[in-house]
Structure 1
Amino acid sequence: MTHIDSTRIENAAARLDQARRHRIPCAPVRDLLPSRDPATGYAVQQVLTASRIAGGAHPVGHKIGLTAPSVQQQLGVDQPDFGVLFDDMVCLQGQVIDSRRLLQPRIEAEVAFVLSGDLDGPLDETTVRKAAGDMVAALEIVDSRVADWDITIVDTVADNASSGLFVLGAERIPLRDQDLRTIEMTMTDARGQRLSSGTGSACLGDPVAALCWLARTKQELGEPLRAGDVVLSGALGPMVPVVPGETYTATITGIGRVVAEFAARR
């Protein structure tokens, strides 16, 4: 990582944390982090993660972002990024979500994995599949603490990969040897209108490939994925803005469906 004053890291973390706490979007942090190296963003993310844990939040897994080639091109990168999932991000199906918890929410459908084994040894697709455990249809409510989503790769990585909340479906299907490249996703609103659609190949070519990338990346960092971790593998189609009072349903062939309902704005 390009050397950078730790004071700049702390200042960037403080800016994002204040935006999260007060629900007021902030200016991008790239002005505090002149290096475009994503590692500087991860340094900020680590400070924020430690602060969340010190405040009582518990990590439950990770999310993978930037799995679509078009989004990578937009931000000038050639690989995904990741963020940390905390227990207070979990929303249960049937639980009405208050969008006032968020700043600029958008929603996307994904395949989630609930790992059945640790991923801390030699890694290839076979070993990753063996530890991947169950697949679950998921809706990720992404969010940005940066005003107007004016982000570069450093901004989004620092901001915990623009994470917000997530909902998991009720059905769990073992991954085993299933080919996820051809699964189809459809997301609709309460009136059945299609809002987004896509296939497994939209997620880094294959959601399993995304999981492999994260497993290798975390292992290189000395923080391997563990049994029980939830991994959101990346969007299967375009994300859409969240509308208060709306209900979103995603159906993924061979895996199941998941619903997220948002409270109407008072």
Structure 2
Amino acid sequence: MTQWTVERVAGELLAREHDRRDGGRLVDDWPELDLATAYEAQDVLLRKKIDAGERVVGVKLGLTSRAKQERMGVHSPITGWLTDGMVLPAGAPVPPLIHPRVEPEIVFVLGKPLRGPGITGPVALDAVASVHAGFEVIDSRYTDFRFTLPDVVADNASAARFVVGATGVPPTALDLRLEACVLSVQGEPVDSATGAAVQGHPAEALALAANDLGRRGITLEAGWLVLTGGLTDAVPLRPKETVTAEFRHLGTVYIEGG
């Protein structure tokens, strides 16, 4: 039997993504896959994407809401990588994926580098150049989105595609805790939330990302995008259906299933 390694984990998950197929949890075959090892596998997966020509454009957070953390039995968000291969141009349908789901997010564009540990929410917000509405399309490479925490970390936090709204607002121009969002599918509202759903304030999620990555020797670079986490639960993205997120101040973003 071939022994599991972080290289093999990354290769298996990348193959599932490429072939648009899901599969079982990797911890069932490799019980030694813990959180630290999963982040090593995530970094190997990123390296493989870079070797294939993709470029890092930012980071994302997952499991930022208290409800999602309780369901997973964790106490802190997780981080993943964003590359230019995940960018979805405005108005373009989402290409075929395995079982995509979509969630509205508050997106930061960094104006200066940010590196932890020791970063607080206010310090993190001071590094933000602009705030945007956005969507993240998540697409787990595990059957029925069933995974453990190390599984999903190794899978780059289920990252697949994302959309960033064109309208950017200075972070000092609004109270992000109160920034409201209504999520609609085919014109029918299905959920709503405010920025407080993300760690009490999206800047706290940014600070967590900076601190977690800083402990791994990684700096959030100026110009990078940061997807701060889903404001609502993710909804399935079905072919030809349109999902809309209407923000109070950040504008409206749309996404359509391919």
TM beyond 0.5: yes
Shift of 1:178: 3.5
Using the size of structure 2 for normalisation, the TM-score is 0.94
Shift of 1:219: 1.6
Q: Which moved more, 1:180-189 or 1:25-34?
A: 25-34
Name the aligned partner's letter for residue 149 of structure 1: F
Give 1:39-118 correspondences, 5 Å limit.
39-98=36-95, 100=96, 102-118=97-113
**Counterpart contact for 1:12–1:32, Cα < 8 Å:** no
| Aligned equivalents of 2:234, 2:93: Cα separation in 1 | 20
| Aligned equivalents of 1:247, 1:199: Cα separation in 2 | 21
Partner of 1:214: 209
Structure 2: give runs of 5+ residues left out of the alignment: none
**Counterpart contact for 2:183–2:244, Cα < 8 Å:** yes
Shift of 1:254: 1.8
Given the alignment, which residue of 138, 143, 148 partners 1:147? 143
| Aligned equivalents of 1:33, 1:236: Cα separation in 2 | 33
**Counterpart contact for 1:45–1:160, Cα < 8 Å:** yes
**Counterpart contact for 1:196–1:240, Cα < 8 Å:** no
| Aligned equivalents of 1:24, 1:242: Cα separation in 2 | 17
| Aligned equivalents of 1:42, 1:212: Cα separation in 2 | 19
Partner of 2:222: 227
Using the size of structure 1 for normalisation, the TM-score is 0.91
After superposition, what is the alpha-carbon deviation per residue over 1:161-197, rounded to whole angstroms, capped at 9, x for unaligned?
Answer: 011100111110010263211221111123x201221
After superposition, what is the alpha-carbon deviation per residue over 1:182-222, rounded to whole angstroms, capped at 9, x for unaligned?
Answer: 221111123x2012211111111111110111111112211
**Counterpart contact for 1:12–1:44, Cα < 8 Å:** yes
Shift of 1:36: 6.3
Aligned residue for 1:138, secondary structure, equals: strand
After superposition, what is the alpha-carbon deviation per residue over 1:141-173, rounded to whole angstroms, capped at 9, x for unaligned?
Answer: 111011111111011100000111001111100
Residues 1:120 and 1:67: Cα distance change in structure 2 (over 3 Å): closer
Shift of 1:126: 3.1
**Counterpart contact for 1:107–1:241, Cα < 8 Å:** yes
Aligned residue for 1:144, secondary structure, equals: coil
**Counterpart contact for 1:8–1:32, Cα < 8 Å:** no
Give 1:149-228 correspondences, 5 Å limit.
149-176=145-172, 178-190=174-186, 192-228=187-223
| Aligned equivalents of 1:170, 1:177: Cα separation in 2 | 16
Residues 1:50 and 1:237: Cα distance change in structure 2 (over 3 Å): same
Shift of 1:259: 1.0
Name the aligned partner's letter for residue 201 of structure 2: D
Give the aligned CA root-mean-square deviation in angstroms: 1.8
Q: Which moved more, 1:113-122 or 1:142-151?
A: 113-122
**Counterpart contact for 1:66–1:234, Cα < 8 Å:** yes
Number of aligned residues:
256
Question: Are 1:255 and 2:257 an aligned pair?
Answer: no
Runs of 4+ in 1 over 3 A off after TM superposition: none
| Aligned equivalents of 2:246, 2:30: Cα separation in 1 | 40
| Aligned equivalents of 2:30, 2:106: Cα separation in 1 | 33
After superposition, what is the alpha-carbon deviation per residue over 1:48-93, rounded to whole angstroms, capped at 9, x for unaligned?
Answer: 1111111111110011000111211222211000110010100111
